[in-house]
Amino acid sequence: MNRLGRQTIVFKNKPRVVGSYTVVGPKEGRGNFAKFFDKILEDDLFGEKSYEAAESKMLKFAITEAIKNANIDKTQIDALFAGDLMNQIISSSFAARKLEIPYFGLFGACSTMAESLIMGSCYVDGGFARYAACATGSHFSSAEKQFRYPLELGTQRPPTSQWTVTGTGCTILGNDDSAGIFVECATIGKVVDWDVTDANNMGAAMAPAAMSTLKAHFEDTGRTADDYDLILTGDLGKLGSEILMDLMEYNGYKLGSNYNDCGQMIFNNTQKTFMGGSGCGCGASILNSYVYSRMNKGMLKNVLFIATGALMSTLSSQQGNSIPAIAHAVSIKFGGK
Amino acid sequence: MFDPIMYLKVFLVGGFVCMIGQILIITTKMTSARILVSFLLFGVALEALGLFQPIRDFAGSGITVPIIGFGASLAHGAIDAGNSMGLLGVFTGGLSAVAGGIAAAILAGYLVGLIFTSKTKK
Amino acid sequence: MNEKERNQRYNAYVSAKMTKTKPWPSLFHAFWVGGLICCLGELIKDLCLYISPELSTQTASTWSLIALIVLAALLTGLGIFDRIGAYAGAGTIIPITGFSNSIASPAVEFKREGLVFGLMAKMFIIAGPVIVTGVVASIIVGLVYLFI
């Protein structure tokens, strides 16, 4: 069995990252990672009639460009794993309808980047696919419409709120020895709910899930935080990542300067996003640009990417339910055969 | 008309009402729909207790422009028409009193919706 | 420690951890913007009375409300209202401008889902509760006055 402990799976054949691509909106393009993103849109409608259609187009664009980046033909992609935040994951499925690639639609809310990477790695590692595409994305305006209020409603954003990232990212995995980055192992998260009901405080709702997965990862593999150059959570935001550090310390693991959070990093302080970024596109756009490029330059060798997702809907929130959350961890390494 | 003292009263009372609303938003995390509903009910209550007219005489638009005035008009209309027309008046009076405002909001909202589209926030 | 206790402790810890923003600036913003909108209403009312002195105060103040409603709807369409709202909070929500914005903003947002089920149906997602509460409460008050 390619397993370690209760929750961790090991990829013996080292599925490799052979290509990647990111598309982000204008606000993200003015943030801290502008020089790493592959494409920055000037208009986040991307020539479409609605923000939902734009999100879908951004996803399709990221997938097709990532395939080009990997220098392969789309007929060589044997499986596409994609998901997003829209109801019935329309952005992903609509993006997939013209791609003609066997498709799995995933829903893991903002954890989808890790979820798709894990599924893609399993597929490639098990020899079920020569190449697999793993993609996800989100759009600020479509998410606001679905989860919050009309854009033009004059309300104040609560100080614990986060800003949904307009961005999509795609990773192409394959068994190509020439590529340096590979997925080594992954820890699948359990659904964790510590009874947080405030939908404007996602970081607090998701931090226990991140803690649970991180702890399971350390227990299953026998590693500590020091074994990684970078431990990167998806979109806990400023408050959420502080909570995670506290929770880990409480459990006897110290997260030091090698820990960071995509949501906390992506925007700069002048962009008025309160706790930072969130959404599927937050982790996806940072992983597929900044992280891979740093790894290819040898500046990062061992990275643990933990994407966290809040699994509630507007209905469940209105009915007073607490927010269940999930986190998946993927260990990504550079070098070696 | 155009009495500076009146404008000062309008500013202070109107500002005070909004400040109370802001305190409610901060302390209870109420959404705007809930804020509007509670202030409307407060207006209905003021009118029912006969307190609205004295405040209105004092502060004019300071109390009629906030949604409190909307609630008071509703209650005032229902009470008035009830007195003159009986039971039917209770049903028709409230909405008739605010019909102008509601009709304007619906028409303006409809036209604006036809003309404009929502824009992404920066 | 059982699960319930842990969750309670965690939620208490989270509330303590949340950065407390200073309320004073936002109270001041709400105060002056709200006060100013009311003054604008008073000004429009006075102008109505100035132009046609035969109007009753009641009629003039209804006209001023209508003017504020149209202005707020227009600013909503132009994408300006939400910026004022982000600054002033309750200062723009509580005056009748907030009611108008709550009707115009979903109209603008949901027009992409069509005229009937989008624009027209969604217009009242926020204002609906306001109208329902107002009508029900006014009828109750009217009934009480009628029978007492």
Closest CA to A195 of A322, A280, A55: A322
d(CA A85, CA A80): 17
| Helix runs in A157-279, H state only | 202-221, 237-250, 262-266
Min distance C141 CA to chain A CA atoms (Å): 30
Share of chain A above pLDDT 70, in %: 99
CB contact under 8 A, A208 and C84: no
Which positions in chain B touch A149 (Cβ < 8 Å)?
32
The torsion region of residue A24 among left (phi > 0), alpha (psi -120 to 50) and beta comes to beta
Asked if A195 has any chain C CB less than 8 Å from its own CB, the reply is yes
What was the pLDDT predicted at B2? 84
What was the pLDDT predicted at A268? 94
Average pLDDT over residues B84-106: 95
The domain tally of chain B equals 1
pLDDT at C20 over 80: no
Give the amino acid at C114: G
> Confidence band (pLDDT; 50, 70, 90) for B12?
very high
What was the pLDDT predicted at A336? 61
pLDDT at B120 over 70: yes
What was the pLDDT predicted at B122? 76
Residue of A153, A157, A166, A267 to mutate when probing chain B, most B C-beta within 10 A: A153
**Are the CB atoms for A132 and A72 separated by under 8 Å?**
no
pLDDT at A76 over 60: yes
CB contact under 8 A, C82 and A242: no
Closest CA to C131 of A198, A19, B74: B74
**Are the CB atoms for A202 and A235 separated by under 8 Å?**
yes
Nearest to A44 among B31, B32, B120 (CB): B120
Ordered by where they begin, the domains of chain A are 3-174 (3.40.47.40), 181-334 (3.40.47.40)
Helix (H) or strand (E) holding A62: helix A51-69
Closest CA to A235 of A213, A194, A206, A192: A206
Asked if B53 has any chain C CB less than 8 Å from its own CB, the reply is no
CB contact under 8 A, B120 and A51: yes
Range of the domain at B78: 4-97
Mean pLDDT of chain A: 95
Q: Which of residues 50-109 of C touch A (CB under 8 A)?
A: 76-77, 79, 81-86, 88-89, 92-93, 98, 101-102, 104-106, 108-109
Average pLDDT over residues B82-96: 94
Share of chain C above pLDDT 70, in %: 99
**Are the CB atoms for B91 and C144 separated by under 8 Å?**
no
A102-157 confidence digits (pLDDT tens)? 999 999 999 999 999 999 999 999 999 999 999 999 999 999 999 999 999 999 98
Nearest to C82 among A153, A196, A201 (CB): A153
In a domain, B23, yes or no: yes
In a domain, B112, yes or no: no
In a domain, B110, yes or no: no
pLDDT at B22 over 70: yes
Q: Which of A9-18, A153-162, A209-218, C103-112 has the lowest mean pLDDT?
A: A153-162
B32-76 confidence digits (pLDDT tens)? 889 999 999 999 999 999 999 999 999 999 999 999 999 999 999
In a domain, B26, yes or no: yes
> Confidence band (pLDDT; 50, 70, 90) for C18?
confident
What was the pLDDT predicted at A178? 82
Which positions in chain B touch C50 (Cβ < 8 Å)?
1-2
Q: At what angle do helices B52-59 and B67-85 cross, to 10 degrees?
A: 130
C24-78 confidence digits (pLDDT tens)? 899 999 999 999 999 999 999 999 999 999 999 999 999 999 999 999 999 999 9
Helix, strand, or coil (residue A147):
helix
Q: Which of residues 45-74 of A touch C (CB under 8 A)?
A: 49-50
Helix, strand, or coil (residue A168):
strand
Average pLDDT over residues A185-189: 97
Q: What is the DSSP letter of A230?
A: E
Mean pLDDT of chain C: 94
Asked if A242 has any chain C CB less than 8 Å from its own CB, the reply is yes
Closest CA to C101 of C86, C88, C114, C82: C82
Min distance C4 CA to chain B CA atoms (Å): 24
CB contact under 8 A, C18 and A153: no
Closest CA to A144 of A202, A105, A86, A206: A86
Q: Is the pTM of this model over 0.90?
A: yes
Average pLDDT over residues A295-303: 95
Backbone angles phi, psi at A296, to 5 degrees: -65, -25
Asked if A87 has any chain C CB less than 8 Å from its own CB, the reply is no
What was the pLDDT predicted at A1? 80
In a domain, B52, yes or no: yes
Share of chain A above pLDDT 90, in %: 94
A194-207 confidence digits (pLDDT tens)? 999 999 999 999 99
Angle, CA B114 vertex, CA B108 and CA B119 arms, to 5°: 100
ipTM of the complex: 0.94
Residue of A41, A155, A164, A197 to mutate when probing chain B, most B C-beta within 10 A: A155
CA dihedral A91, A93, A94, A96 (to 10 degrees): 120
d(CA A177, CA A16): 7
Give the amino acid at A150: P
Nearest to A152 among C14, C21, C79 (CB): C79
Backbone angles phi, psi at A235, to 5 degrees: -150, 50
Asked if A208 has any chain C CB less than 8 Å from its own CB, the reply is yes
CB contact under 8 A, B10 and C104: no
In a domain, B65, yes or no: yes
Contacts of A262 (CB under 8 A, 6+ apart): A232, A233, A234, A235, A277, A282, A283, A285, A286, A287
d(CA A117, CA A135): 8
What was the pLDDT predicted at B28? 86
